[in-house]
Amino acid sequence: MQQKNPAENFFTDVQSSLKQLMSTVPTAYPFDFKTIMETQRKNIQAITEANQRAFQGWQSLAQRQTEMLSQFVQDNSGLARETFTEGTPEAKFAKQAELVRTSYEKTVENAQELVEIASKCTKDASEVINRRVVATFNEIKSKSKTSA
């Protein structure tokens, strides 16, 4: 006779325990387990979709930040070149002040854009979860009416 390995023994014991547990569940239980499992599958699917949307959103946010940083470096290298050009100190100072002002305005504009991207990302993921929560409640309501 062939001996079962410990893993097979474990799974056989678990299966036996589950069968015994299931036999104690009342037959007039208001929800069948197939429905509960299907609901949980849909919940996990919604969470997965929300996570994917959030990840994609954060990827686009990081990509946009990288683009902004690259542009910032290019703009500031232009500022450095302007500083070393010929001209009076007053003209250089006026040019630098203008470049700093436009750089500041661009930074504020970029920050607002990043906030909008992050907000949209969060909103998209939240909407997936919210739709699933509403659907779950509707499923529970529907099942409870049919079993009553």
**Domain span holding position 141:** 53-148
Listed in sequence order, the DSSP H helices in the chain are: 6-23, 33-83, 89-147
17 domain residue, yes or no: no
Q: Is 86 among the domain residues? A: yes
Q: Is residue 127 part of a domain?
A: yes
Residue 96 lies in a domain: yes
Per-residue pLDDT of the chain (148 residues; tens, 9 = 90+): 456 666 677 778 878 887 787 777 666 555 677 878 888 899 999 999 999 999 999 999 999 999 999 988 887 777 777 667 777 888 878 888 888 888 889 989 999 999 999 999 999 999 999 999 999 888 878 877 766 5
Whether the model clears a pTM of 0.85, i.e. scores above it, the answer is no
Residue 33 lies in a domain: no
The total of structural domains in the chain comes to 1
Cα of 23 vs its chain's centroid, Å: 41
Backbone φ and ψ for 111, nearest 5 degrees, come out as -60, -40
What length does the chain have? 148
Q: In whole angstroms, give the CA distance from residue 112 to residue 106.
A: 10
Burial environment of residue 125 by CB neighbours within 10 A (0 to 12, 13 to 18, 19 or more): buried
Distance CA 79, CA 101 (A): 12
Q: Has residue 6 been placed in a domain?
A: no
